[in-house]
């Protein structure tokens, strides 16, 4: 009997976690193939709490898993005009709720400030583990980024 209950709860958990939506939205007129560089916008990067640093690392890894090369925001002025025209600014956010955790990574054209693409990863363990939810959402957004900007 216990085995049946555990199996039932396991399948319910899988069903609910599969209901979360991970997706990417790309601007209709955007030519994603022209972009080669990305620079992360985050004013709090050097003031981030230590316990959140592991997620910051995973987000950087997610972008590096695509064809985009990361450029430090302090070095953008060292890029040529041609390189700056291939640069995307990256802004990310994490929204944690009881229902699910959502990680959104937005890509903005450096020269025009026009939003080009938005990748979203969502995950839930039904409130059992916030850390597992965040890790799962980051993995899903990493997959969306890799599909949006393939190598």
As a whole number, the mean pLDDT across the chain is 85
Asked if 125 contacts 17 with a C-beta cutoff of 8 angstroms, the reply is yes
130-148 helix and 53-64 helix, angle to the nearest 10 degrees: 20
Residue 118 sits in a domain whose CATH number is: 3.30.160
Give the pLDDT of residue 125.
86
Give the pLDDT of residue 22.
83
| CA gyration radius, the chain | 18
Condensed to tens digits (0 to 9), the pLDDT of residues 31-51 reads 999 999 999 986 555 556 666
Please state the pTM of the whole predicted model. 0.81
Count of domains in the chain?
Answer: 1
- 108-124 burial: b if 16+ Cβ within 10 Å, else e: bbbeeeebbbbbbbbbb
Kindly tell me if the per-residue pLDDT of 58 is higher than 70: yes
Domain extent for 16:
2-148
Condensed to tens digits (0 to 9), the pLDDT of residues 1-34 reads 666 566 555 545 544 444 567 888 999 889 999 9
Token couple for 114: 């026009």
CA proximity to 24, closest of 119, 149, 147, 150: 119
């Amino acid at each position: 009997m216990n085995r049946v209950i555990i199996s039932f709860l396991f399948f319910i958990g899988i069903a609910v976690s599969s209901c979360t939506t991970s997706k990417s939205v790309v601007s209709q007129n955007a030519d994603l193939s022209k972009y080669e560089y990305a620079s992360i916008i985050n004013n709090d990067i050097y003031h981030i709490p230590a316990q959140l640093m592991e997620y910051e690392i995973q987000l950087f890894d997610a972008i590096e898993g695509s064809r985009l090369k990361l450029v430090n925001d302090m070095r953008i002025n060292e890029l040529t005009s041609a390189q700056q025209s291939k640069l995307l600014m990256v802004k990310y956010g994490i929204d944690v709720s009881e229902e699910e955790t959502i990680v959104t990574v937005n890509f903005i054209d450096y020269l025009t400030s026009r939003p080009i693409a938005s990748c979203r990863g969502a995950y839930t363990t039904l409130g059992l583990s916030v850390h597992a939810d965040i890790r799962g959402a980051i993995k899903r957004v990493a997959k969306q980024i890799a599909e949006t900007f393939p190598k």
